[in-house]
Structure 1
Amino acid sequence: MTLIYQINRSKRRRNLAIKVAKGKLEIQAPWHMPEATIRAFVNDKHAWIDKHLQRQRRQLDALAPRLWESGERLRWLGEPMTLKVATATRKSVERYGAELFVTKTARSQAVKEPRLTIISWYKRQAEAWLDDFFATWPEHHGLTPSTWSIGDFTSKWGHCTRKQALKFTWKLWIAPPWVVRNVVIHELCHLKEFNHSKAFWRLVEQLSPDYQAAEAWLRQHGVTVLNADYLDYCDENSD
């Protein structure tokens, strides 16, 4: 199989790096590195790259592209919800059991609605989840963020700032609850260890013993859960 890839050069980069995302291959390279050197590097990593590309493409092919229409499947904390869309005099969103009912107005832009209404719902629900989580988080752990909030990241689940503020993507709450909890604890541990050192991972393991399974889940499903064109994952070998 011939590998098709894009080269992204940077004057700050010193080494070659591979990025496999959304079923596509990018090579991050130093500014003046010869293309022959890059090509040799890709050929050397061909088997590894092909394995990951094929896995991601299988995941993408197994899901229908997101159209935000009635009948599509959404997820809240891993549980499937069927989307129901209607037109009304005002926008609204309510969850009833395994169904999410969303209304849009006749003037709503087809491209943006009901997507924006649903994303706003996810953000509110995620904020409430975090409020409940931190309300019961043991103080004796000594890990208390200054603030927490919800954003919309495309390539990461959350981050911690040096001002001890935590921020997470709303897409995280598509995942099962044990995975969500692990990500939150992961970022909390950065309040003490602002790195990914051995000391950091020891702290994560102490507070989230199943963190390795959660990290594996995130690596496996990030390609579709973080992808705005899908925002879902296949159930097989996932929970």
Structure 2
Amino acid sequence: MTKLSVNVNKIATLRNARGGNVPDLVKTSLDVESFGAQGITIHPRPDERHIRYQDARDLKKVVKTELNIEGNPVEKFINLVLEVKPAQVTLVPDAVDAITSNAGWDTVAHRSFLQEVISEFKANGIRTSIFVDPILEMVEGAKETGADRIELYTEAFALGFKEGHPNAVKPYVEAALLAQDLNLGLNAGHDLSLENVKFFADSIPGLLEVSIGHALIAEALYMGLEKTIESYLKALS
């Protein structure tokens, strides 16, 4: 079964909109776990506009499944990850002012930098994953960095699927097969939803984990958080 890691950034966005601690990010994350999710994902950005760096410290104390911290490995982020020591760190090349992640790494051009960062994380017992587009050269480059896994950036698939082009999954299948050949673990995320996640998971060999936040929280507005998570688990089973 592909594991579901729930990105709780949008819970933090809602909390920060009014100040205070409603909704309670830690309690919501514990509820998400109790509803069956196998992981919690957070993506702190330097301006802390949703997830705050303190949230990572607080969640580390209570998350019983797996804590995945995503982000661009600037010095502040690296220091946070080394302090918190999550189960997994996912490296994402997002600009400081990015609304959301919008591209994978060029693992060839940034190989030396990624090797240096990844070696430090792995020396501290942290599983490493690199956010990449479904481009075979980028998958091969990820292997050269020493990463444990890659996370396929799935926006292009989601857009194609929505427009009625199921063959949009083909580059992801090819990337997944190459990852298997290279002994790279495989995650995926971005714009996956209840509408497309079953088709994607059924199509992708060796898919270990999906990280879903925006769509899941939006769907939960209508279905409720527990029922929404149950629906994702059913789709991924």
- Please tell me the TM-score bracket, short chain as reference: under 0.3
Point out the structure with the larger helix share: 2
TM-score w.r.t. structure 1 length?
Answer: 0.26
Larger Rg belongs to: 1
- Greater relative contact order structure (CA < 8 Å, 6+ sep): 2
